[in-house]
Structure 1
């Protein structure tokens, strides 16, 4: 008796519509049927039909339709990660073949403080290690959703768990008071937490998870002052540190960021107390982004700076 030989299933039989996958990826990445339709140059109704076709084919809901919003289901998130990565690989090959041999561009996102104090002073060593790399810095004030940006790598401070990318630990952090040598020479050193709370302080706004201001720092080191003497409040941490450099008062020094200023003597550390946050710095690669040599090299470069 002859046994029927099962024919292998081709991609066309397993994947009923590439168009539906393309439109699903756009909706998942942008979080909106309207924005996806605008990007793809089709109507919103057409996008909705393609996504509904996928859901009917799979027998699974891919999105939760909320009031004026949508979010991926668990099944939708699993499909999005695979589709996004596959499309990124295809797009990268098409782009490389179409443009021919060119310099590799890396889009690196970080806060203005990390870029100003940590990245820019060390760029020469990155270029020396990777001379063909063309870097584009994307400076952010707040943590942005990587699914909405053309970003290859992001540096973030937090707990390492984000829904839009894969995080790899860079280094931890320590927070302590800093001031200029001139400011310290003109007055007695605040050698207790009580004296520090009464000193002239420079504050900066919290712009990311885990980032702390003076009140949170005092609480973390076990001291609750009745009031704090703020001489200046800044929206950006870079401005707060610059104010401290110019003798305007005492700022909170994030060790990884003010390392070079301490080494050069432009700032001095007040040995009153310090706090090591539970959060750390991470490099985050967006879901769907392949870690190519152009990405892997700078990631390793960032990690090599852990001791400085």
Structure 2
């Protein structure tokens, strides 16, 4: 038994819709760039497939039968839907889509707040953001570029330095007051600490590395809390759950707004940082050039405006500004 829901020949439906709209096989043939007998043959095959007449053949043309009226309504609705989807696909092809991979922290606290500015600068560019906390080989991913954290070495890729790793412990103002912190690194030894879960090898600085850099050892566990994304770490810090390692300029706006305060007066800078990483084999369009320039300029400005960035040298210690007068001993 034949399937009653089987679709009729699809090309015949196109011929049928044109003939139904024109109410003339000859006019439909001109529209479709074919002959009147070819249209008549296609309509006949469609009627045979359906087992029903779709047109009444009249002396001055044709008119639709009740079955023809039913079918043309369904065909027009379907073709309209297909046309809309096709238009969207063509428009998407005409617009440039840039796929950028980065980690949760950078996407949440740096990139997302600035996307409106990027849209104004490059209105024809659609940005797709892919986030992952794990390290990956960008050459094997369907992305155009990555804002990645590391030492600047990515095989088969070019890397442009964006932001150095500048780390300062941060906490909520209420936590700072409750713990009666003095701003000294030694205060951190017995406090509850917030950790970002990290796979080996560690890329970001962790608390053990921070203590080692300051020549300190912890005096207690302090009821620590470990979370698997940086936004959760920062959320716990703003809720007064402990002290988190803050990366400038990711936490700058939270510090400016008073949601977080530095728990230690001296930031630390390492040899790592964020880089704009691009596979050497990928396309190089004008949109990519403009995004690259925008990223470099925005990161430089963010670093200049950071309450932590300007006072830190690559040695990892806070220093006076170059033109600042030395303080008295």
- Give the superposition deviation at 1:190: 4.4
Distance in 2, matches of 1:156 and 1:230, equals 31
Match of 1:231 among 202, 218, 224: 224
What is the aligned partner in structure 2 of residue 144 from structure 1?
A: 136
CA contact (8 A) 1:179 1:267 kept: yes
2:225 is the counterpart of 1:240: no
Distance in 1, matches of 2:262 and 2:183, equals 12
2:310 is the counterpart of 1:307: no
SS of structure 2 residue aligned to 1:282: strand
Q: CA RMSD in A?
A: 2.0
1:173-205 residue CA offsets vs partner (Å, 9 max, x unmatched): 210110111222333114333321111211111
1:152-171 residue CA offsets vs partner (Å, 9 max, x unmatched): 01011111111141111112
Residues 149-164 of structure 1: pairs in structure 2 closer than 5 A? 149-164=141-156
What is the aligned partner in structure 2 of residue 183 from structure 1?
A: 175
The structure with the larger Rg is 2
Report runs of 4+ in structure 1 exceeding 3 Å deviation. Answer: 98-101, 207-210
Distance in 1, matches of 2:218 and 2:262, equals 21
What is the aligned partner in structure 2 of residue 169 from structure 1?
A: 161
With the length of structure 1 as denominator, give the TM-score of the two structures: 0.64
Match of 1:210 among 162, 182, 203: 203
CA contact (8 A) 2:185 2:264 kept: no
2:260 is the counterpart of 1:267: yes
2:245 is the counterpart of 1:252: yes
- Give the superposition deviation at 1:215: 1.1
Unaligned runs of 5+ in 1: 1-97
Match of 1:283 among 256, 260, 276: 276
What is the aligned partner in structure 2 of residue 200 from structure 1?
A: 192
What is the aligned partner in structure 2 of residue 32 from structure 1?
A: none
Unaligned runs of 5+ in 2: 1-88, 303-329
What is the aligned partner in structure 1 of residue 306 from structure 2?
A: none
Distance in 1, matches of 2:182 and 2:289, equals 45
Q: Which has the higher contact order (CA 8 A, sep 6+)?
A: 1
SS of structure 2 residue aligned to 1:241: helix
